[in-house]
Amino acid sequence: MIFRLPLVLAVSLLFCFRARAADHLSNPLADSPNWKALAKFQKTITHDEFEQLLRRVYCPHGISEEFIRVDPDAACILLDRDAQSWFTLRFATAGRTRQAPPLGWRAAHALPRRKKAGLLSGLKIALDPGHIGGAWAKMEERWFKSGDAAPVEEGEMTLKVAKLLAEKLRELGARVSFVRAKTEPVTPFRPDDFREAARAMLKASGTENPPEEFKAPDDPLKEQTVRWQSEILFYRTSEIRERARRVNSKLRPDLVLCLHFNAEAWGDERNPTLTDVNHLHLLVNGSYSSSEIEFDDERFEMLQRLLSRSYDEEIQIADAAAVAMAKKTGLPPYQYTTDNATKVGTSGYVYSRNLVATRLYRCPVVYFEPYVMNSSDVFARIQAGDYEGMRAINGVERPSIYREYADGVVDGLVEYYKTNR
Ligand SMILES: [Zn+2]
- CA pair distance 419, 421, nearest whole angstrom: 6
Q: What residues are neighbours of ligand 1 (ion), with CB under 5 Å?
A: 1, 130, 260
Residues constituting the chain: 421
Kindly give the distance from the C-alpha atom of residue 332 to the centroid of ligand 1, in angstroms, as a whole number: 19
pLDDT of res. 19: 52
- Could you tell me the sign of the dihedral formed by the alpha carbons of 194, 199, 205, 207, in that order? positive
pLDDT of res. 17: 56
How many CB atoms are located within 10 Å of the residue 5 CB? 12
Kindly give the distance from the C-alpha atom of residue 391 to the centroid of ligand 1, in angstroms, as a whole number: 26
Give the ranges where 191-250 is alpha helix by DSSP (H).
195-204, 226-232, 239-245
Write the CB contacts of 36 (distance below 8 Å, at least 6 apart in sequence). Answer: none
Kindly give the distance from the C-alpha atom of residue 20 to the centroid of ligand 1, in angstroms, as a whole number: 33
Q: What is the mean pLDDT of residues 98-108?
A: 85
**In this prediction, what percent of the chain has a pLDDT beyond 70?**
94
When pLDDT is cut at 50, 70 and 90, the band that residue 4 belongs to is: low
Kindly give the distance from the C-alpha atom of residue 108 to the centroid of ligand 1, in angstroms, as a whole number: 28
When pLDDT is cut at 50, 70 and 90, the band that residue 185 belongs to is: very high
pLDDT of res. 144: 97
pLDDT of res. 8: 44
Kindly give the distance from the C-alpha atom of residue 235 to the centroid of ligand 1, in angstroms, as a whole number: 12
Write the CB contacts of 229 (distance below 8 Å, at least 6 apart in sequence). Answer: 6, 8, 9, 194, 198, 201, 202, 210, 223
Residue 102 has pLDDT above 50, yes or no: yes
Residue 266 is given by DSSP the state -
- CA pair distance 119, 12, nearest whole angstrom: 48
pLDDT of res. 100: 77
Contact 278, 147 (CB under 8 A): no
pLDDT of res. 405: 98
When pLDDT is cut at 50, 70 and 90, the band that residue 18 belongs to is: low
- CA pair distance 303, 64, nearest whole angstrom: 15
Kindly give the distance from the C-alpha atom of residue 154 to the centroid of ligand 1, in angstroms, as a whole number: 7
Kindly give the distance from the C-alpha atom of residue 65 to the centroid of ligand 1, in angstroms, as a whole number: 35
Write the CB contacts of 147 (distance below 8 Å, at least 6 apart in sequence). Answer: none
Task: Give the CATH fold of the 7-420 domain.
Answer: Aminopeptidase (3.40.630)
Residue 51 has pLDDT above 90, yes or no: yes
Kindly give the distance from the C-alpha atom of residue 130 to the centroid of ligand 1, in angstroms, as a whole number: 5
Kindly give the distance from the C-alpha atom of residue 352 to the centroid of ligand 1, in angstroms, as a whole number: 16
The H or E element spanning position 53 is none
Q: What is the mean pLDDT of residues 308-332?
A: 97
Contact 368, 409 (CB under 8 A): yes
- CA pair distance 298, 359, nearest whole angstrom: 8
Kindly give the distance from the C-alpha atom of residue 279 to the centroid of ligand 1, in angstroms, as a whole number: 14
Average pLDDT over the chain, rounded to an integer: 93
- CA pair distance 106, 33, nearest whole angstrom: 24
When pLDDT is cut at 50, 70 and 90, the band that residue 176 belongs to is: very high
pLDDT of res. 96: 62
The H or E element spanning position 101 is none
The H or E element spanning position 128 is strand 124-129
pLDDT of res. 12: 43
Q: What is the mean pLDDT of residues 48-74?
A: 97
Kindly give the distance from the C-alpha atom of residue 133 to the centroid of ligand 1, in angstroms, as a whole number: 11
pLDDT of res. 7: 42
pLDDT of res. 116: 72
When pLDDT is cut at 50, 70 and 90, the band that residue 99 belongs to is: confident
- CA pair distance 401, 403, nearest whole angstrom: 6
pLDDT of res. 13: 43
Kindly give the distance from the C-alpha atom of residue 1 to the centroid of ligand 1, in angstroms, as a whole number: 3
Q: What is the mean pLDDT of residues 277-294?
A: 97
- CA pair distance 335, 325, nearest whole angstrom: 16
The pTM of this model reads: 0.94
- CA pair distance 390, 258, nearest whole angstrom: 26
Our CA angle for 355, 360, 363, nearest 5°, is 110
Q: What is the mean pLDDT of residues 33-60?
A: 96
Residue 9 has pLDDT above 70, yes or no: no
87 vs 101, more confident: 87
Kindly give the distance from the C-alpha atom of residue 368 to the centroid of ligand 1, in angstroms, as a whole number: 9
Q: Where are the beta strands (DSSP E) in 72-222?
A: 74-80, 85-90, 124-129, 143-144, 152-153, 175-178
Kindly give the distance from the C-alpha atom of residue 48 to the centroid of ligand 1, in angstroms, as a whole number: 36
Kindly give the distance from the C-alpha atom of residue 3 to the centroid of ligand 1, in angstroms, as a whole number: 7
Q: What is the pLDDT of residues 352-398, one digit of tens each?
A: 999 999 999 999 999 999 999 999 999 999 999 999 999 999 999 99
Q: What is the mean pLDDT of residues 143-162?
A: 97
pLDDT of res. 115: 66
All structural domains of the chain with their residue ranges: 7-420
Residue 6 has pLDDT above 60, yes or no: no
Contact 292, 385 (CB under 8 A): no
Q: Which of 97, 102, 95 is nearest to 43 (CA)?
A: 97
Q: Is residue 410 classed as helix, strand or coil in its secondary structure?
A: helix
Kindly give the distance from the C-alpha atom of residue 342 to the centroid of ligand 1, in angstroms, as a whole number: 19
Kindly give the distance from the C-alpha atom of residue 68 to the centroid of ligand 1, in angstroms, as a whole number: 32
Q: What is the mean pLDDT of residues 120-142?
A: 97
Question: Reduced to 3 DSSP states, what percent helix, strand and coil does the chain have, rounded to the nearest 5?
Answer: 40, 15, 45
Q: What is the pLDDT of residues 193-233, one digit of tens each?
A: 999 999 999 998 899 899 999 988 888 889 999 999 999 99
Kindly give the distance from the C-alpha atom of residue 369 to the centroid of ligand 1, in angstroms, as a whole number: 7
